[in-house]
Amino acid sequence: MKPAKPNASRIEKPRKKDGDFTALALSKAAYAMSVHDPRELPAPGPAEIAFVGRSNAGKSSAINTLTGRRRLAYVSKTPGRTQLINFFSLDGRAFLVDLPGYGYAGVPGEVRRHWEGLVGGYIATRESLAAVVVVMDARHPLTPLDRRLLEWLRDAGRPAHVLLTKADKLSREASTKVLAKARADLARLYPGTTVQLFSSSKRTGLDEAARAIGTAVDAFPGSKNKSPG
Ligand code: GDP
């Protein structure tokens, strides 16, 4: 559809789109708290949008890029050390939740079990969890662990949005192919999951990701964050 031509005699105020709310709120992200044990989780409040992914996939960079903050999420150089769920308040209207990564090579079973208890418990039971952004490296998406995570999300009925990040490392042609293949695979694994290319380095895919987050917040039952327009 072609956009309507501007008409000087009938100037309308711009409609507030879902992305507007999110762009505004994302840039206001502020650290709220960290949780090491599911029992420490705060009482459910505003909609939570959780980010999760295989270690090194680019999750921290994506959070920092989307919020416009250099070091909001710590870009980790020490794999598997801390297993914390970090909450960032989006202007008191939603939470961005940074879940610990998975798939670190050589982590002891005890650490893996803690991750499964913490993240698995959060995904399965958290009342205020509106959607999960799954971060994957566009060069090797949908690893066996990514697939298992998507099964958890499907079983828990959590809407998922996949960021295929580091897309700058692929040619335009290769990234188009990767996106099409991921879309087809996701349609089988967990229908309804949305997927996009993203690059923190080149700052591409930001609007699409912000829109997906805004839509998930708005669609969350009982969300007080409905865009007024
Ligand atoms: P995390 O473990 O998933 O939080 O991953 P990080 O955000 O710490 O990123 C892992 C590594 O990938 C770091 O060296 C980042 O600088 C790099 N990285 C992250 N995102 C991108 C991206 O979009 N493009 C490129 N080229 N490198 C990235």
Which sign, positive or negative, has the C-alpha torsion 59, 224, 218, 47? Answer: positive
Q: Is 199 in the pocket of ligand 1 (CB under 6 A)?
A: yes
Q: How far is the CA of 61 from the centre of ligand 1 (A)?
A: 6
d(CA 141, CA 182): 7
Closest residue (by CA) to atom 6 of ligand 1? Answer: 58
Please choose, from the candidates 51, 50, 56, 49, the residue with its C-alpha nearest in 3D space to the C-alpha of residue 137. 56
User: Which atom of ligand 1 is least distant from the CA of 56?
Assistant: 2
- β-strand partners of 88: 31, 96
Closest residue (by CA) to atom 21 of ligand 1? Answer: 166
H or E stretch covering 196: strand 194-197
Q: How far is the CA of 227 from the centre of ligand 1 (A)?
A: 32
Q: How far is the CA of 57 from the centre of ligand 1 (A)?
A: 6
Q: Is 75 in the pocket of ligand 1 (CB under 6 A)?
A: yes
pLDDT tens digits for the chain (229 residues)? 444 444 444 444 444 454 556 777 899 999 999 998 888 999 999 999 999 999 999 999 999 999 988 777 765 545 555 688 999 999 999 999 999 999 887 788 888 888 999 999 999 999 999 999 999 999 999 999 999 999 999 999 999 999 999 999 999 999 999 999 999 999 999 999 999 999 999 999 999 999 999 999 999 986 654 444 3
Closest residue (by CA) to atom 25 of ligand 1? Answer: 166
